Amino acid sequence: MAANSRLGRLRETEFCYLTTTGRVSGLPREIEIWFGAEGSTLYMLSGGREKSDWVKNIKRSPIVSVRIGGVTFRGVGRVVADREEDALARRLLLKKYATSADDLASWGRKALPVAVDIEAEA
């Protein structure tokens, strides 16, 4: 089954587990994080921007794994640079997580968008 199809069934899962390689230790580092999905790309927002360890790890070694609802995907992480993709990432996450009781607008404007492009399965 294509990664895009497998992701489609998992889009509404509340969070994912992102595993990066520690830039100093070389060991796996896992975080729980909110995500949005479009096609075969996952988007996450880093409230700590470039200072977040997971972002630093991706910049050093972009090969990552992402576990969603018991399904693990391999992918390549990157900081989003394109203006349109930046806007898409913010829209996806705010649409998924902002409720009338939440005040995520500031986070949605200020956080750093990071993408994980899921590798096609062989």
Amino acid 8: pLDDT: 80
| Tokens read off for 63 | 């090969």
Q: Is the pLDDT of residue 5 over 90?
A: no
Tokens 């895009």 belong to residue: 4
Amino acid 108: pLDDT: 76
CATH number at residue 54: 2.30.110.10
pLDDT single digits (tens) 17-49: 999 999 999 999 999 999 999 999 999 999 999
β-bridge mates for residue 76, sequence order: 63, 117
Q: Which residue has the higher pLDDT, 77 or 3?
A: 77
Amino acid 33: pLDDT: 97
Q: How many domains does the chain have?
A: 1
Q: Is the pLDDT of residue 67 over 90?
A: yes
pLDDT single digits (tens) 6-15: 788 888 899 9
Q: Is the pLDDT of residue 2 over 70?
A: no
How far is residue 62 CA from its own chain's centroid? 12
Give dist(CA 79, CA 81) in Å, integer: 6
Q: Is the pLDDT of residue 86 over 70?
A: yes
Q: What is the extent of the structural domain holding 29?
A: 3-118
Q: Which of 55, 14, 37 is nearest to 117 (CA)?
A: 37
Amino acid 122: pLDDT: 44
Q: Which residue has the higher pLDDT, 109 or 30?
A: 30
